Amino acid sequence: MHHSFKFLSTVIIISIASVVFATASFSDEQQEPSSSVEIIKVDDGSGIIPKPGSGSAPSSPTDRGGALQLALLGLLVLFPIIAIASVRRQARRNQNSANI
């Protein structure tokens, strides 16, 4: 009980410290309000989320939709499948060894 309380209090203190030191007052950059910011609203498909079919095909593996991004997607899908299969296999082994 004492060790879990000590661990929990340490985690809480570290979390609070990281939030405090991540604020703008502790950062090296000076946050100055700029009056030259101009907001332009244009609906021609050139925003943050482009309209379907308005982009260009990837020309290098690191471009949007390139081979490296597709490989990363494959790994992100494959990893949980392998992890779940491994846990299930180990559970079956433990259950079979307990029955013997």
**Residue 31: inside a domain, yes or no?**
no
Query: Which residue range forms the structural domain that includes residue 69?
Result: 63-95
**Residue 10: inside a domain, yes or no?**
no
**Residue 53: inside a domain, yes or no?**
no
d(CA 100, CA 94): 10
Please state the pTM of the whole predicted model: 0.41
**Residue 27: inside a domain, yes or no?**
no
Q: What is the DSSP string of 33-90?
A: --TT-------SS-SSSPPTT-S----STTSTTSHHHHHHHHHHHHHHHHHHHHHHHH
Number of domains in the chain: 1
Is 80 exceeded by the pLDDT of residue 26? Answer: no
Tokens of 75: 């790994």
**Residue 38: inside a domain, yes or no?**
no
For the stretch 48-95, pLDDT in tens is: 777 777 777 888 888 877 888 889 999 999 999 999 999 999 999 999
